[in-house]
Amino acid sequence: MTRLTQRQAPAPLTRKLTEAGLHPLLARLYAARGITSAAELKTDLGALLSPESLKGTKEAAELLADAIEAEVRMVIVADYDCDGATACAVGLRALRGMGARDVHYVVPDRVIHGYGLSPSVVAEVAKLEADILITVDNGIASVDGVAAAQALGMTVLITDHHLPGETLPTAEVIVNPNQPGCSFASKNLAGVGVMFYVALALRAELRRRGWFNAERPEPNLGALLDLVALGTVADVVKLDANNRLLVRQGLARMRAGKVQAGIKALFGAAGREPARATTFDMGFALGPRLNAAGRLADMALGIECLITDDYGRAFNIAQDLDKLNRERRSIEEEMRDAALATLEETHIDESPAIALFEPEWHQGVIGIVAGRIKDRAHRPTIAFARANDHDGDGELKGSGRSIAALHLRDALDLITKRHPDLILKFGGHAMAAGLTIREADFPRFRQIFADTVAELVPAKDLQRTLETDGALETGYMSLETARLLDAEIWGQGFAAPLFEDVFQVDKQRLLKERHLKLQLSKPGAVFDAIQFNCAENVPGQIRAAYRLSVNEYQGVASVQLMLEYFEPA
């Protein structure tokens, strides 16, 4: 059962924003999301939080400036998701743009090395004879990996945004807004955002040293903002004011055609145009194609796409990524169907949490499956796959997705404190986390996970709630309004507008046996509508929660309602 609630937009605040020049609809939507003045919507880079307030950037800048001047070898260790790939690309492009002559990268294999800077990854870096090891989007929990690197004589710089554990690694420098003692106002920077801030600090340090000249010009780091925007949106971090500014600047560059060759190629592979880029494109078209490389192949493929300036090469790689993404979708559908079949045999209402495991599941796709099941059942969900090909006596890798009422990493931390022998390792965020357990312990973990969630989450919060912006005036249900909303920045923590209304159902049919295509009407207006992955029969009158979208077909654009939920009116 889903409950619809409405966001409240205080009338005086809405009026204040309208009088400041905002479109009346945007003023209402922003007021409902806590915006209190037009100043919070500034889009110029001058409003960006200062790098000086991000703990560690000064030391990181000095370390990297010394390395560039001494021409020592630097190796970036990336994560294998979109945030990690874009952070690596920002690091490589920034360092090379500022004169680094000897900088390389290594990306872990999800199956072979696991997550983060493990000692086995350090062994790969050692083969490159690195002097300085730089992590992007990982490393804050890699106590053993950092120690292994330092034992081999490497200097370690960690750039990360994940929550630290009780013990910090002994890296020479750590840049992470979530580390103890950091006063940076935005705790929601993605990994790519952290690396971008390090690049800003490095440029300032080199400028102070008089490094730049006619033969070695100062780079325009604004040219990297398309990468920053993509990684930020794809990693589903909260879009606070600072992140919205970064994303808006990146989107502006995309729409102006000022994009990296790889991002342009990814748009082409997705059948979309940079000139009409939206946050939806980054989260649901470009991001998944990059992530597919890390899930099914080697994220080096995605990184190469983002660091080449040869559009022909980028386009060929983007086509490979597109094929991997189609394969990923096929695997995901099979795994999801198997998971749903298991759930049909389970009384979901009786369990506050879900843990699933099938021996044949693919380790690279379990996070997506967990997310799909979480959305369907509105329960914290962890999906497990075997860590390696074995006969069932080894380890399971789990990937979890949570609901708003449960901080998933904290829940796993609590389980570890109470049952020290159960979880071998874990890490993550409030809404997503990864862990490793022994296969033999899966039944025990499933019960303990459910008991822990029952303790931490009130029963009322296990009911799915959709927060809407109320009814939308018929005059605003237009192509013009859909494009107005598409031009704005929406995402995690700053939800895209979701409206609700009562409609008459005039026509209904299924597309590809799984998507519901509808013709809806209300007095004086008729609308096309669609709900994906829904094959239910629709009653004659419904209350629907929907988003406005632009539907392009044979060169003709029209408004379409994207249904999130419906119930009999």
The domain spans of the chain are 46-323, 346-462, 466-568
For residue 542, the surrounding DSSP H or E stretch is strand 541-553
pLDDT (tens digit, 9 = 90+) per residue, 257-294?
999 999 999 999 999 999 999 999 999 999 999 999 99
CATH architecture of the domain with range 46-323: Alpha-Beta Complex (3.90)
Nearest C-alpha neighbor of 116 from the set 73, 162, 180, 179: 162
pLDDT at position 173 over 80: yes
Task: Tell me the mean pLDDT in the region 199-208.
Answer: 98
Under 8 Å between Cβ of 74 and 104: yes
pLDDT for residue 109: 84
Task: pLDDT band for 42, please (50, 70, 90 cuts).
Answer: confident
pLDDT for residue 389: 53
Q: Which two tokens stand for residue 448?
A: 């303990």
How many degrees, rounded to 5, is the angle at CA 22 between CA 19 and CA 25? 110
pLDDT for residue 349: 67
pLDDT for residue 166: 87
Question: What share of the chain has pLDDT > 90, as a percent?
Answer: 85
46-323 and 466-568 agree in CATH topology? no
Task: Tell me the mean pLDDT in the region 100-108.
Answer: 96
CATH architecture of the domain with range 346-462: Roll (3.10)
Name 546's bridge partners.
499, 563
pLDDT for residue 554: 82
Residue located via tokens 């945030």 = 83
Please state which of the four CATH numbers 1.10.540.10, 3.30.230.10, 2.40.50.460, 3.30.43.10 is assigned to the domain occupying 466-568: 2.40.50.460
pLDDT for residue 348: 67
Number of Cβ within a 10 Å radius of residue 378: 19
Q: Which two tokens stand for residue 473?
A: 């005036």
Quickly list DSSP for 352-392: S-EEEE-TT--GGGHHHHHHHHHHHH-S-EEEEEESSS-SS
